[in-house]
Amino acid sequence: MNSLNVFNLQQDSTGLMHVTTDNGVYLHNGYSFSLIKNDLPNPTILSSFIKDNSTIYLSTNENGITEVN
């Protein structure tokens, strides 16, 4: 994981941890991290809401709320 600032952690129904950071959103499967969202104008993600396994809402400090599928 390429970030020192973690703002929020959430676990989805499959057990994956969603980690919101100042460098985007990472998934953690229990063994490794992978970056899932990195093309936002501002990659600092303050919090997230997992609607279902295919839809996540992200809040940023400059761009409001973004839906990720």
Q: In the structure, what pLDDT confidence band is assigned to residue 38 with cuts at 50, 70 and 90?
A: low
Instruction: Please tell me which residue, 9 or 60, carries the higher pLDDT value.
Output: 9
Q: In the structure, what pLDDT confidence band is assigned to residue 33 with cuts at 50, 70 and 90?
A: very high
Helix (H) or strand (E) holding 21: strand 17-21
DSSP for residue 39: -
Residue 58 CB neighbours (<10 A): 22
Kindly state the average pLDDT of the residues 34-55. Answer: 80
Question: Is 4 a residue whose pLDDT tops 90?
Answer: no
Kindly state the average pLDDT of the residues 17-46. Answer: 85
